[in-house]
């Protein structure tokens, strides 16, 4: 038995495939081409291994093998496999062949992959260049992946491909810069958020701005089983496709991921009403302009009965939507800019109403520069519709709890655990956390700015004036002596 393929090896080899597109198109686009091809290679290799196993089991009886393959998790038509495309890598219409292969795979797996590949065009001249250049790039891409043996028996662990997918999405986010946060939440932030909402087996979970689905998958990881219902909506078509493939690669085939604008056209519905969830998590776009305020007063789901957020800042629109989709014991966790804690006008009124309804459970300040595309510090708000008699709110200032990184700061496992332990134990810790009463928050006019509750001021050590004066006198004496020596040397050299 040869050495199994590790995630690190896959990461390294697949990342090298990015060189095929570097300098040709923007990183936010070439992630679509590369990750889709990784997906095709994986399902081809899995399908190939399954077929081989059935051939051995049924002694080469093709009719029995085909019947067994028809009941497998997914289907790969013969003329749509990665191997078929690699065999035809010198074709003049290679981009068209890849597009046809993906369409065939969609048709063969309609319940799982319908419309997933509709936003990706391997025959696009504007993106991939004229025919000769396009064919060369696509041939190189097929060559990059051909050397990867992604059969399950050759992999170290069940999630190695899904984890490699997450790795690549994270690196694309880093490379993509300003727009990266639209499709990826840093893993350590997702892990923290998943811990804070404390999901359980059997929960129905939603992310209304799910991006590539990484946050939903972290919630599933926290539960530790696949007995969980994952639901999401994503406005960007290519990112929605990534989320669908990402779920499939993590064997979350029953995940329900919709494409559309959550605020203006929510798709997660039951009986023409908004679906209700045990857990709702999100990292929505910060302070989204033109989010649809003009139609909020006539919202058919009456989500904005507490007030309409300003049209230039959609933070409270997403917050309101999340609260309205919680069931009677539901919990929500959301990452937002600090402005939501103290901005006034309509946001202040909505914030006050949240407090009056005893929905807010915790406010956690995060370090700056954790997110791709923005250096501003963010916060996590935790809501709970089943707080019962407890009307307190826990404030945690974790803004100084981070490890410096080259491009982004990082939350380590220790930082995440410290935040969660403080939250779980409901602790007041000097200069780190504070449990505030409803009365204190009311006295602050429902301003939730963390420094109002957690005093992190550090007094400077008193200066010993006499000792400092003595040190200055000594330094002056040493300087005078050195100047005298320098003059002597310069005279000896005839320079004075």
pLDDT (tens digit per residue) in 224-268: 889 999 999 999 988 899 889 888 888 898 999 999 999 999 999
Nearest residue to 194 via CA among 416, 7, 387: 416
pLDDT at 180: 43
What pLDDT, on a 0 to 100 scale, did the predictor assign at position 478? 83
Please determine, for residue 36, whether its predicted confidence score (pLDDT) is greater than 70. yes
Q: Which residue has the higher pLDDT, 467 or 64?
A: 64
- Residue 496 confidence (pLDDT): 67
* Residue 181, pLDDT score: 46
Q: CA nearest 157: which of 68, 246, 249, 53?
A: 249
Reported in sequence order, the residue ranges of 5-89 that DSSP labels E, i.e. its strands, are none
Burial class (CB in 10 A: 0-12, 13-18, 19+), 275: middle
Instruction: For the beta carbon of residue 171, count every other beta carbon within 10 angstroms.
Output: 17
- 94-127 as b/e: b if 16+ CB within 10 A: bbebbbbbbebbbeebeebbeebbebbbbbeeeb
Report helix, strand or coil for 198: coil
Alpha carbon 146 to its chain's center: 29
Q: Which residues contact 218 (CB under 8 A, 6 or more apart)?
A: 187, 190, 191, 193, 194
> What's the whole-number average pLDDT of the chain?
88
**Whole-prediction pTM:** 0.85
Quick: pLDDT tens for 388-435. 899 999 999 998 887 877 667 888 999 999 999 999 999 999 999 999
**Average pLDDT of span 471-494:** 82
Helix (H) or strand (E) segment spanning residue 336: strand 326-337
Based on DSSP, count helices (H) and strands (E) in the chain, helices before strands.
17, 11
> How confident is the model over 332-377, as pLDDT tens digits?
999 999 999 999 999 999 999 999 999 999 999 998 888 766 677 8
210 or 470, which is more confident: 210
> What pLDDT does 371 receive?
77
Q: Give residue 160's pLDDT.
A: 63
| Whole-angstrom distance, CA of residue 179 vs CA of residue 291 | 17
**Residues forming beta bridges with residue 281, ordered by sequence position:** 333
Per-residue buried b or exposed e for 141-163, using 16+ beta carbons within 10 Å of the residue's own CB: bbebbeebebbeebbeeebbbbb
Q: Residue 60: which region, alpha, beta or left (left: phi > 0; alpha: psi -120 to 50)?
A: left
Q: What is the SS3 assignment for 92?
A: coil
Distance (Å, whole) CA 236 – CA 244: 12
Phi, psi of 275 (to 5 degrees): -65, 150
Structure-model confidence comparison of residues 349 and 480, the more confident one: 349
Integer Cα distance of 322 and 325 in angstroms: 5
SS3 116: coil
Q: Look at residue 358 and give its three-state secondary structure.
A: coil
What is the CATH topology of the domain spanning 7-157?
Ferritin (1.20.1260)
Per DSSP, helices labelled H in 129-186 are 131-146, 160-176
User: In terms of DSSP H, where are the helices of 435-496?
Assistant: 438-443, 465-492
Task: Specify the pLDDT at position 46.
Answer: 92
Cβ distance 414 to 381 under 8 Å?
no
Residue 225, CA atoms < 13 Å, CB-side half-sphere? 7
Both ends of the chain: CA-CA distance in Å? 82
What confidence score (pLDDT) does residue 238 get? 85
Q: Are 393 and 436 in contact (CB under 8 A)?
A: yes
CA distances from 31 to 160, 168, 175, 216, 441 (A): 19, 8, 10, 20, 45
Q: Which two tokens stand for residue 280?
A: 């709702």
3-state secondary structure of 355: helix
Closest CA to 445 of 374, 362, 335, 348: 348
Whether 1 shows a pLDDT value over 50: the answer reads no
pLDDT cut 90: percent of the chain above it: 60
21 versus 182: the higher-pLDDT residue is 21
**270 three-class SS:** strand
Tokens representing 243 are 């989320």
pLDDT at residue 446, as a whole number: 96
Tokens 């501003």 sit at which residue? 376
The Cα–Cα gap between 259 and 249 comes to 19
Class of domain 179-452: alpha beta
- Looking at residues 62-87, what average pLDDT do you find? 94
Q: How confident is the model at residue 177 (pLDDT cuts 50, 70, 90)?
A: very low
> Do 231 and 204 meet the contact criterion of CB atoms below 8 Å apart?
yes
Cα–Cα distance measured from residue 421 to residue 384, given in angstroms and rounded to the nearest whole number: 18
Cβ contacts of 458 within 8 Å, gap of 6 or more? 431
* pLDDT value of position 464: 73
Q: For residue 176, is pLDDT > 80?
A: no
Give the pairing type, strands 256-259 and 204-207.
unpaired
Please give the average per-residue pLDDT across 106-116, as a whole number: 90
Host H or E run for residue 431: none
Phi then psi for 330, rounded to 5 degrees? -75, 155
Assess whether pLDDT exceeds 50 at residue 458: yes
């Amino acid at each position: 038995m040869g050495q199994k393929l590790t995630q690190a090896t896959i990461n390294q080899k697949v990342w090298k495939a990015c060189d095929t597109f570097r300098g040709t198109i923007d990183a936010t686009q070439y992630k679509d081409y590369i990750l889709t091809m990784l997906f095709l290679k994986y399902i081809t290799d899995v399908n190939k291994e399954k077929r081989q196993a059935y051939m051995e089991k049924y002694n080469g009886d093709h009719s029995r093998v085909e019947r067994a393959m028809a009941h497998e998790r997914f289907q790969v038509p013969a003329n749509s496999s990665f191997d078929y495309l690699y065999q035809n890598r010198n074709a003049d219409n290679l981009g068209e062949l890849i597009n046809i292969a993906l369409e065939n795979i969609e048709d063969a797996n309609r319940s799982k992959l319908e419309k997933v590949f509709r936003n990706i065009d391997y025959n696009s001249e504007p993106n991939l260049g004229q025919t000769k250049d396009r064919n060369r790039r696509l041939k190189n891409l097929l060559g990059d992946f051909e050397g990867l043996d992604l059969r399950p028996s050759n992999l170290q662990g069940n999630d190695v491909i899904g984890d490699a997918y997450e790795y690549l999405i994270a690196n694309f986010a880093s490379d993509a810069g300003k727009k990266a946060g639209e499709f990826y939440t840093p893993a350590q932030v997702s892990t923290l958020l998943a811990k804070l909402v404390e999901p359980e087996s059997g929960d129905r979970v939603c992310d209304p701005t799910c991006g590539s689905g990484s946050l939903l998958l972290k919630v599933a990881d926290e539960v530790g089983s696949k007995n969980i219902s994952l639901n999401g909506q994503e406005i960007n078509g290519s990112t929605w496709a990534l989320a669908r493939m990402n779920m499939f690669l993590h064997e979350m085939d029953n995940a329900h991921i919709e494409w559309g604008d959550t605020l203006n056209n929510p798709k997660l519905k039951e009986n023409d009403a908004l679906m209700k969830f045990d857990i709702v998590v999100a990292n929505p776009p910060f302070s989204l302009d033109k989010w649809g305020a003009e139609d909020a007063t006539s919202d058919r789901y009456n989500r904005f009965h507490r007030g309409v957020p300003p049209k230039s800042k959609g933070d409270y629109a997403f917050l309101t939507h999340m609260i309205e989709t919680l069931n009677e014991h539901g919990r929500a966790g959301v990452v937002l800019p600090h402005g939501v804690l103290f901005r006034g006008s309509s946001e202040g009124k909505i914030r006050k109403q949240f407090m009056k309804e005893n929905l807010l459970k915790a406010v956690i300040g995060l370090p700056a520069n954790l997110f791709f595309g923005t250096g501003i510090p963010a916060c996590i708000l935790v809501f709970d519709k089943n707080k019962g008699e407890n009307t307190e709110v826990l404030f945690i200032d974790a803004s100084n709890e981070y490890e410096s990184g080259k491009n982004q700061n990082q939350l380590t496992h220790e930082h995440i655990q410290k935040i969660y332990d403080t939250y779980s134990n409901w602790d007041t810790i000097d200069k780190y956390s504070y449990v505030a009463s409803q009365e204190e928050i009311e006295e602050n006019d429902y301003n939730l700015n963390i420094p109002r509750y957690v005093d992190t001021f550090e007094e400077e050590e008193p200066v010993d004036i006499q000792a400092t004066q003595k040190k200055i006198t000594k330094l002056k004496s040493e300087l005078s002596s050195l100047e005298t020596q320098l003059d002597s040397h310069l005279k000896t050299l005839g320079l004075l």
